[in-house]
A = this chain, B = another copy of it.
Amino acid sequence: MFITIDEADARPIYVQVAEEIKALIARGELAQGAQLPPVRQLASDLGVNLNTVATAYRELQGEGLLSIRHGAGAVVASRTAQAKSEEELRKPLRVALTGLVLAGLPRVEIMNLVQSELRALLKGAK
């Protein structure tokens, strides 16, 4: 589990952890049924409290990506998250693209970035 916390990132730690695990699942590096590290282990690896990791796990469980069993561990439940509304999907994309446009990147460069990121994510796709 190669997860890192970015101090410069304003988002809460548990959100960052959840986001990184999501990316691992999307890439197929965490396949369906795969066991996740115990909250204590991942927490100590990251230098945070175990409850912070537990919150991330519960968030992912809420999205249908993990299955947590008290006493046993957490496993990847599915590679597909529960359905969101189209607007919930579009908004983060709009925010990201707005940032790129305001950074002054030309259209072609933005498309290159998108394709490069998307390729990395779909690498392990079926």
Chain A: residues with CB nearer than 8 A to chain B? 6, 8-9, 19, 22-23, 25-26, 63, 65, 79-81, 83-84, 88-105, 107, 110-111, 113-114, 117-118, 121-122, 125
Please judge, given known A-B contacts A23-B94, A96-B93, A96-B95, whether A102 and B65 are in contact too, CB under 8 Å.
yes
Kindly report how many copies of this chain are found in the complex they form together: 2
Residue of B6, B91, B98, B99 touching A84 (CB-CB under 8 A) = B99
Please judge, given known A-B contacts A19-B95, A92-B95, A97-B117, whether A25 and B84 are in contact too, CB under 8 Å.
no
The A contact surface, by secondary structure, is helix
Contacts of A110 in B (CB 8 A): 118
Please judge, given known A-B contacts A95-B96, A121-B97, whether A102 and B81 are in contact too, CB under 8 Å.
yes
